[in-house]
């Protein structure tokens, strides 16, 4: 007698896919469909206030406009500069904090918790907080500087091109340095003590131990933090929008404030989506770069103990 094959949903080969199906469907509906939809709209003259414009196919015109748009490229370059400065500052400060906290034994847990406070605030609130710190009339910073006799006039922290960008980077660094500090501290905790002692006996001074032993060991952790943070910073929106709104006159405009303005304020959703796709390529480029670095730095870390 020939045994009948069970129906395909009962065969072992398909079980994993069957179990994953709800997740796959969810991702399909909430991620993939919107992605495809927005990709389509980037080839139309879609405006939120005129739904019928969704069918108005304009080909590559949105992309042509963007590539010829100086404001877009200014925001693009500013985003890269912003990202580079913020990530490097956060890395250096985070590393310093992690190394210091790693040294102390008493109160380490408390400090670790305190260090995470900035991460617990909503970015919007951080933005408001620093908006008031840097406000030229009522801001605490200008008040302090004047009381101490360090300046005699109101410094336009959020108006001047350089000062405004500095202020935003300051807020960003204040909020996110602890991400680096925590990840690097985890790295320091995981670090074996023996190679460090071996290096000391081998003739290294404190700096050389750090440079040749500790830092190479920490690099995988650095790159993990860099990957996460580069994605975060590349889509920076909330802090900037609250503190300066991208202004004045576009001096602090980053990609996502520009995209939001184009899509919602100017209602040009098709063009905004085209910008979104270009900025996604930027994020992918950064992620790819840090991932390559991460894999390279992790190659030798296995089996060292």
Partner 1 sequence: MAEITLDKVVKRYGKLEVVHGIDLKIAHNEFVVLVGPSGCGKSTTLRMIAGLEDISDGAIRIGGDVVNDLPPRKRNISMVFQNYALYPHMSVRENLGFGLKIAKQDPKMIEERVAEAAETLGLDALLDRTPAELSGGQRQRVAMGRAIVRHPEAFLFDEPLSNLDAKLRVQMRTEIKKLHQKVKTTVVYVTHDQVEAMTLADRIVIMRDGNIEQVGTPMEVFDHPLNTFVASFIGSPPMNLLPATVRGGAVHFTDGKSLPVPSRLAGKVRDGQEVTFGLRPDDLTPQGHGIAEGGERAQMELEVILSEPLGTETILYTTIAGQEAQGKMYGPRPVSPGERLVFDVALEKAHLFDAATGRSVAAD
DSSP element (H, E) containing 188: helix 161-190
Residue 190 CB, shortest distance to partner 1, in Å, is 12
Helix-then-strand count for the chain, H and E: 15, 0
Structure tokens at 303: 């089996």
Q: Which stretch binds partner 1 (CB under 8 A): 38-46, 51-59, 188-196, 283-291?
A: 188-196
- How many residues touch partner 1 under the rule CB under 8 A: the total is 24
How far apart are the C-alpha atoms of 201 and 230, rounded to whole Å?
38
Q: Does 217 bind partner 1 (CB under 8 A)?
A: yes
Q: Which stretch binds partner 1 (CB under 8 A): 12-20, 36-44, 96-104, 213-221?
A: 213-221
Of the ranges 83-91, 229-237, 241-249, 294-302, which one interacts with partner 1 (CB under 8 A)? 294-302
Q: How far is the CB of 216 from partner 1 (least distance, A)?
A: 4
Residue selected from 60, 119, 216, 295 as contacting partner 1 according to rule CB under 8 A:
216
Q: Which stretch binds partner 1 (CB under 8 A): 62-70, 103-111, 238-246, 297-305?
A: 297-305
Identify the sign of the CA torsion 218, 224, 228, 234: positive
* φ, ψ at 268 (rounded to 5°): -95, 80
- Per the document, the length of the chain is 305
201 binds partner 1 (CB under 8 A): yes
* Three-class secondary structure of residue 57 per DSSP: strand
How many angstroms separate the CA atoms of 143 and 153, rounded? Answer: 10
d(Cα 268, Cα 275) in Å, to the nearest integer? 11
Give SS3 for 145. helix
Interface with partner 1, residue 300, by CB under 8 A = yes
Closer by beta carbon to partner 1, 52 or else 305: 305
Q: Which of 139, 195, 270, 276 binds partner 1 (CB under 8 A)?
A: 195
Which position has the token pair 């406000």? 135
What residue ranges bind partner 1 (CB under 8 A)?
192, 194-195, 197-205, 208, 212-213, 216-217, 297, 300-305
């Amino acid at each position: 007698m020939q045994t009948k094959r069970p129906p395909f949903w009962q065969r072992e080969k398909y079980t994993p896919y069957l179990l994953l199906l709800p997740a796959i469907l969810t991702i399909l509906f909430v991620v993939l469909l919107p992605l495809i939809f927005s990709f389509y709209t980037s080839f139309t003259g879609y405006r939120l206030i005129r739904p019928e414009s969704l069918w108005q196919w304009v080909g590559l015109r949105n992309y042509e406009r963007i590539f010829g748009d100086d404001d877009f490229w200014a925001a693009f370059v500013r985003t890269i500069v912003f990202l580079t400065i913020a990530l490097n500052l956060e890395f250096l400060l985070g590393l310093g904090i992690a190394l210091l906290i790693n040294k102390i034994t008493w109160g380490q847990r408390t400090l670790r918790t305190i260090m995470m406070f900035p991460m617990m605030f909503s970015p919007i609130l951080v933005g408001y907080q620093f908006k008031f710190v840097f406000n030229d009339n009522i801001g605490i910073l200008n008040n302090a500087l004047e009381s101490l006799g360090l300046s005699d006039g109101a410094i336009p922290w959020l108006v001047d091109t350089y000062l405004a960008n500095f202020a935003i980077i300051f807020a960003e660094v204040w909020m996110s340095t602890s991400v680096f500090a925590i990840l690097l501290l985890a790295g320091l905790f995981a670090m074996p003590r023996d190679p460090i002692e071996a290096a000391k006996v081998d003739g290294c001074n404190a700096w050389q131990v750090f440079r040749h032993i500790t830092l190479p060991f920490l690099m995988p952790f650095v790159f993990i933090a860099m990957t996460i943070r580069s994605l975060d910073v590349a889509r920076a929106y909330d802090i900037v929008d609250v503190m300066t709104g991208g202004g004045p006159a576009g001096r602090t405009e980053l990609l996502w404030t520009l995209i939001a303005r184009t899509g919602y304020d100017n209602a040009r959703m098709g063009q905004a989506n085209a910008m979104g796709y270009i900025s996604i390529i930027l994020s992918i480029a950064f992620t790819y770069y840090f991932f390559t670095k991460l894999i390279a730095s992790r190659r030798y870390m296995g089996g060292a103990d």
